[in-house]
């Protein structure tokens, strides 16, 4: 262990869950590579160091041991490296390219979003996360994956929350893992008959694509499809749903910029990207040192578990101008909200499509859209930064 743990030793999980950004600022300033006892990880917090970690897999591997992801989902795209990772990604990624899902904004996402807006447009108020962002992401995910009629919305939401509990269980809480493992088994049991059907009757869904696609004559096994579907459930619900809420809240928190985006809808993509940078939905990317090394002057032993803190890198003043300020003009450069390197989020395009379409329709259809001053928005989490509630008001119609 290194001597550079004074600040990390004082950081509690509760502090990170409540609001990690002040802790990240302290670490970036004085302890950029820090052992944090409460989560049993080395936190790496500066932009250059985070980039180095996520883009140097031979030194900092995603195939960690132990792995909260592999422990909960089974071996998967995020928790693997090398030839295995390349094979899995080469089979899954084509479905997520624009050629395959470029029609989703107009033909899938917008109709679902409009239906949800129809349900509350006459009220003049809405709780964004529970009444719009999450239901929209659930519906899109069901359509995209092919879970469809086999799973109801409440079950899919429960799976997400319970699987995410295991994915973020760095403190090795046995009760959290028990809940996550039960959900994992339930997903496997549900998916098996769907795959049997798709074997004979393929369609345009992700499950069908994973089942029938092959690279160099090899296809994914049933276990590989199941484990990677769990990755898609957690990422597809959390990243997309939280990005919609975060991007909307961030923009509406800055009235002048919101007015510009209403007047110039072509700015919506910039508003979404800046929201993702400013309050990143996914906080970290976990790695493990493959050999003894040094990072930012700190010695890391082979086997050291490292969290490359994406959310902190996106606020590093060494890389960004006034990084704690939300600004859709100043910060138009690539960020790390969707990670980077070989493990950049495979579903990033679909998540962006959902958030852009959702934000544009909210602004178009709900005149006078604004945050409810009597019920301020609340967020929590550091691995997954999620809204507890985001109350909005607008002119009823």
> In this structure, what token pair is assigned to residue 83?
């030839």
CA-to-CA distance for 224 and 330, rounded, in angstroms? 42
CB atoms within 10 A of CB 166: 24
pLDDT-derived band at 58, boundaries 50, 70, 90: very high
pLDDT in tens, 1-46: 444 578 999 999 999 999 999 999 999 999 999 999 999 999 999 9
pLDDT of residue 103: 96
What pLDDT digit, counting tens, does each position of 131-144 carry? 999 999 999 999 99
Cβ neighbors of 250 (< 8 A, separation 6 or more) are 271, 274, 275, 278, 279, 326
pTM: 0.93
pLDDT reported for residue 327: 97
Among 5, 4, 47, 39, smallest CA distance to 20 is for: 39
Bridge partners of 300, per DSSP, are 293
Q: Supply the pLDDT for residue 171.
A: 80
pLDDT in tens, 223-253: 999 999 999 998 888 889 999 999 999 999 9
Where along the chain do its domains lie? 8-393
| Whole-number pLDDT of residue 68 | 86
pLDDT (average), residues 104-115: 98
pLDDT tier at 80, thresholds 50, 70, 90? very high
Q: Which of 324, 306, 302 is nearest to 315 (CA)?
A: 324
Instruction: Report pLDDT digits (tens) over 322-342.
Output: 999 999 999 999 999 999 999
Provide, rounded to the nearest whole percent, the portion of the chain with pLDDT above 70: 99
Using CA atoms, how far apart are residues 33 and 309, in angstroms rounded to an integer?
10
Q: What average pLDDT does the chain have?
A: 94
Predicted local confidence at residue 2, as pLDDT: 46
Q: How far apart are CA 12 and CA 166, in angstroms?
A: 19
> What pLDDT shows up at residue 1?
42
CA distance to 26, 300, 378, per residue, from 295 (Å): 18, 7, 35
Percent residues over pLDDT 90 in the chain: 89
Confidence check: pLDDT of 368 > 50:
yes
Half-sphere exposure of 216 (CA within 13 A, CB side): 6
Alpha helices of the chain — where are they, by DSSP H?
13-18, 21-30, 47-54, 68-73, 82-92, 98-101, 104, 110-120, 128, 134-145, 153-167, 174-200, 206-212, 222-252, 255-263, 268-278, 310-313, 348-365
Residue 367 three-state SS: coil
User: What topology is assigned to 8-393 in CATH?
Assistant: Cytochrome p450 (1.10.630)
Phi/psi of residue 115, nearest 5 degrees: -65, -40
Nearest to 167 by CA among 176, 175, 158: 176
Report pLDDT for 67.
87
């Amino acid at each position: 262990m290194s001597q550079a743990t004074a600040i990390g030793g004082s950081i509690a999980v509760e502090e990170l869950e409540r609001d990690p950004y002040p802790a990240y600022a302290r670490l970036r300033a004085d302890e950029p590579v820090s052992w944090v006892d409460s989560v049993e990880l080395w936190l790496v917090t500066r932009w250059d160091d985070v980039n180095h970690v996520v883009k140097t897999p031979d030194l900092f591997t995603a195939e960690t041991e132990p792995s909260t992801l592999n422990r909960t989902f089974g071996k998967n795209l995020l928790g693997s490296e090398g030839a295995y990772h390349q094979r899995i990604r080469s089979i899954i990624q084509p479905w997520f390219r624009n050629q395959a899902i470029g029609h989703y904004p107009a033909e899938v996402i917008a109709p679902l979003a409009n239906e949800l807006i129809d349900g509350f447009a006459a009220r003049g108020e809405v709780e964004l996360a529970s009444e719009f962002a999450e239901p929209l992401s659930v519906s899109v995910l069901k359509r995209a994956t092919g879970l469809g009629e086999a799973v109801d919305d409440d079950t899919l939401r429960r799976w997400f929350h319970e699987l995410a509990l295991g994915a973020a269980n760095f403190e090795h809480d046995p009760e959290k893992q028990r809940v996550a493992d039960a959900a994992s088994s339930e997903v496997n049991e549900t998916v098996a008959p769907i795959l049997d059907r798709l074997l004979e009757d393929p369609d345009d869904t992700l499950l069908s694509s994973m089942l029938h696609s092959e690279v160099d004559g090899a296809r994914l096994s049933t276990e590989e499809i199941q484990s990677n579907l769990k990755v898609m459930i957690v990422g597809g619900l959390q990243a997309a749903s939280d990005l919609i809420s975060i991007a909307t809240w961030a923009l509406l928190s800055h009235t002048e910029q919101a007015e510009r985006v209403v007047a110039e809808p072509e700015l919506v993509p910039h508003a979404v990207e800046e929201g993702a940078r400013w309050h990143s939905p996914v906080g970290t990317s976990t790695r493990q040192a493959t050999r003894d090394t040094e990072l930012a002057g700190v010695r890391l032993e082979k086997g050291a578990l490292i969290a490359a803190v994406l959310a902190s890198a996106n606020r590093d003043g060494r890389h960004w101008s006034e990084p704690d300020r939300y600004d859709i003009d100043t910060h138009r450069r690539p960020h790390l909200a969707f990670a980077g390197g070989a493990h950049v989020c495979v579903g990033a395009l679909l998540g962006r499509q959902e958030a852009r379409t959702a934000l544009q329709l909210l602004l178009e259809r709900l005149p006078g859209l604004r945050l409810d001053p009597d019920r301020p928005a609340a967020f929590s989490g550091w691995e997954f930064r999620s809204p507890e509630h985001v109350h909005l008001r607008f002119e009823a119609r």
